[in-house]
């Protein structure tokens, strides 16, 4: 063994394997589920507006359903951008998900706001419907 080969580091000892199953893997799985649910929601909205029931509902109900569908569309776009940012743009950049405090993508923050807005709107609708059924 000569002196030049002894000073060369071994690749196996210098490589640290990182596991992103609990971070990036969870984001990708959640995005797939969100996309499936968005597809189901889109089909329900289409059937609602093209069925015989739609003319019997008030304009407020129709506008609420359409507005919630638009917000859901914006939600899926922002969620897809966030997944792309974390899994493609920052591919092989482990500091993006391991850094403290975490680095938040702008679309992820906007996505959380849109999700909360959808939740509040649906909750208000359910409360108003329950209130009208009681009285």
pLDDT at 42: 97
pLDDT at 55: 79
Q: Is the pLDDT of residue 19 over 80?
A: no
Residue 49's CB is within 10 A of a number of other CB atoms, namely 14
Query: In the structure, what pLDDT confidence band is assigned to residue 11 with cuts at 50, 70 and 90?
Result: low
Helix, strand, coil shares of the chain, percent, nearest 5, are 75, 0, 25
Looking at residue 52, the DSSP 8-state letter turns out to be S
Report, as an integer, the average pLDDT of 34-42.
96
108: left (phi over 0), alpha (psi -120 to 50) or beta: alpha
How do the domains of the chain map onto residue ranges? 20-129
pLDDT at 84: 92
pLDDT digits (tens, 9 = 90+) for 82-134: 999 988 898 888 777 777 787 788 998 999 999 999 999 999 989 988 888 88
Listed residue (80, 101, 71, 86) closest to 34, CA to CA: 80
Q: Is the pLDDT of residue 8 over 70?
A: no
Q: Is the pLDDT of residue 15 over 70?
A: no
pTM: 0.76
How far is 38 from 34, CA to CA, in rounded Å? 6
In the numeric block, the tokens 């969870």 are attached to 26
Q: Is the pLDDT of residue 23 over 90?
A: no
Residues near 72 by beta carbon (within 8 Å), at least 6 away in sequence: 38, 41, 118
pLDDT at 41: 95
């Amino acid at each position: 063994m000569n002196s030049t080969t002894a000073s060369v580091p071994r690749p196996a000892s210098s490589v640290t394997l990182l596991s992103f199953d609990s971070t990036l893997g969870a984001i990708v799985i959640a995005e797939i589920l969100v996309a499936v649910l968005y597809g189901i929601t889109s089909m329900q909205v289409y059937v609602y507006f093209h069925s015989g029931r739609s003319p019997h509902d008030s304009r407020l109900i129709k506008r609420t359903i359409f507005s919630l569908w638009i917000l859901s569309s914006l939600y899926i776009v922002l969620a897809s951008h966030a997944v792309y940012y974390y899994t493609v743009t920052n591919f092989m950049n482990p500091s993006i998900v391991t850094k403290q405090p975490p680095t938040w993508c702008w679309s992820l923050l906007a996505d959380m706001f849109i999700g909360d807005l959808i939740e509040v709107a649906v909750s208000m609708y359910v409360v108003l419907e329950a209130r009208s059924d009681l009285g």
